[in-house]
Every structure is written in structure tokens, then in C-alpha cells.
Amino acid sequence: MLTRTPAPRSRRPAAAALLAGPFLCGALVAAVGGREGGARAAAPPLLVSAAASLSGPLQSLAVPFARARAVAPPQFNFGSSGLLQQQIQQGAPVDVFLSTGVRPMDTLEKAGLLLAGSRRDLLSNRLVLVVPARAPRRPLEIAGLAGPGVRRIAIGDGTVPAGDYARQMLAHYGLTAALAPKLVPLGSVRAVARAVAAGNVDAGFVYRSDVVQLGGLRVVATAPEASHGPIRYSGAVLRSSRQPQLALAYLRSLRTTAAQAQFRRDGFASLPDRAP
């Protein structure tokens, strides 16, 4: 079981103290189960808050990073980027933030919560319209969502960047008003994918990487890139990180050839390594 060394009570902000329990006990997902005895005794694991769509490749890459650095594997808190941003602003203990979309990262940067110079663009993705894999095969385009054959469409809520991109795309097609009664907002892109795969909705908007990593989905249309803002995944080290050098090394590890190959296998696209 992964553990972390608690900070002295007198040095922890009140908000962080309130969030630490559910953050570490409930939301955190251990990247690996085995024992890393020596590494764990030396230092606590990095705490990484990351967009839900990154969960597959990040957990695959956690063990190689830990072995290469002789440290404990990172621990992950996966969720919608907007919700993770709010947790960080409220004092959640986080070393590295990996976000979809620029808005959550911009908000933290403007608030002075990021380590100066650490922010980097990492990956891209595509927005796709999906239906349950077992649904009858019939033509369905984005414009056809307004027809009577589609009653419920899952979409990310206001904290989910995939939902922002989908709403931009619907506005591009002039479908905002027509589809408003059909939209079912959910709290993460993975929640959208699960709802579609289970047949609880007729269709939904997810990332191409979700289709690659998860079962039960069939792509029926891909949103034109010009119909929404650029899909960008970025990462940064938090100014409050307890281990800023290790956090920077972790962020750099996501840009290695091996890491980028893993991301591509999981449906992402690479980007040049540059600061925004």
C-alpha cells in the first residue's frame, strides 16, 4: 500500500488539511501495487493531479519512471481538469498538474500557483462523436444529431474541457439551441464514455484516446479541428511542491521518446516540446 509522510500539522494550510484526507484516501489512485520498500522509505511519492483521459498511459509509465529514478511510483488523482484546478486552488497537496485545455492551467498560472517556467505543452487529441458499439450500424453525422432518432447525447459539464470543445463545435454547426434539450452533462469525459458504452444515452462526445483505451464505443464522426479550439494537454509543477526537482524530472519524462510512443499507442498525438 502506498503511503506518504504527513507534513507537520502546524505548517499545513487549513484548506489543505481539509482536502488531504479525501484526496489521498479516496481520489488518489495508486499507480502500481508492488513493494518499492527502499524508495518509499527515502521520500514520499509525487502527487500528480491529471485529466481523466490520461489515466491509461500515465499508469503504464509510472513504473518505468520510478525504477529509472529509484523512487516510489507517483500517486494519481484523476478527474476533470476544471475540478482538479479547483482542488489545487483550495489547497490540495499536488506536485504536478496535467490538464486538458488551457483554461485550468491559465487560471492557476494567473493565481501564481505554478512553478515559474515549468509549464509545457505535451499532447494533442481529437474530439469524436461515438455511439454504443452494439448499436445498429446506420449513418450518423454531427448535423444529424438534431433528428428524432437521437434523444440523449452525453457531454462533459462545465468543468470538463472535452465538453467545452463539444459546445464550441455545436455552435460552429449552429446546433446549440436545437440540441440543448438532448444534452446530458456529466462530470468527466470518462463518465461520458461509460454512459455511451452502457447504452444509457444514444451518443456522446469523447476524445479519440478514450475510444482506443476503452471498449464499447464506435466512432461515427470526427469533429473538424477548425470547429473548436486546439486540444492541448499541458503539464506544470506546482509552486508548493515538496519535491520540485523530482517533479520537474517527472514532467520531462513525459516528453521522452518512449513516453510519447506510449501516448500515441493510447490514441494521443505528440506536440513540439515548448512552453506556451
The 8-class DSSP code of residue 216 comes to: S
**pLDDT value at position 42?**
65
**Is 148 within 8 Å of 178 (Cβ atoms)?**
no
Grid cell in block for residue 168: 464550441
**pLDDT value at position 178?**
96
Averaged pLDDT for residues 215-243: 96
Domain with CATH 3.40.190.10 in the chain: 9-123+233-270, 127-227
pLDDT of 10 above 90: no
What does CATH list as the number for 9-123+233-270? Answer: 3.40.190.10
Q: Which H or E element spans position 29?
A: strand 28-30
How far, in Å, CA of 57 to CA of 259, rounded?
8
Averaged pLDDT for residues 32-45: 54
Instruction: Give the count of alpha carbons within 13 A of 91, CB side only.
Output: 12
pLDDT of 11 above 80: no
pLDDT of 231 above 90: yes
**pLDDT value at position 29?**
43
Q: How confident is the model at residue 140 (pLDDT cuts 50, 70, 90)?
A: confident
How far, in Å, CA of 201 to CA of 192, rounded?
9
How far, in Å, CA of 171 to CA of 195, rounded?
23
Q: Is 193 helix (H, G, I), strand (E, B) or coil?
A: helix
**pLDDT value at position 274?**
54
Q: Average model confidence (pLDDT) for the chain?
A: 86
| Multiple choice CATH, 127-227, 3.90.1010.10, 3.40.50.720, 3.40.190.10, 3.20.20.70 | 3.40.190.10
- Name the nearest CA neighbour of 215 among 194, 191, 188: 194
pLDDT of 264 above 70: yes
Output the DSSP codes for 71-106: SPPPEEEEE-HHHHHHHHHTT---SEEEEESHHHHH
Grid cell in block for residue 157: 459539464
pLDDT of 186 above 70: yes
Q: How confident is the model at residue 273 (pLDDT cuts 50, 70, 90)?
A: low
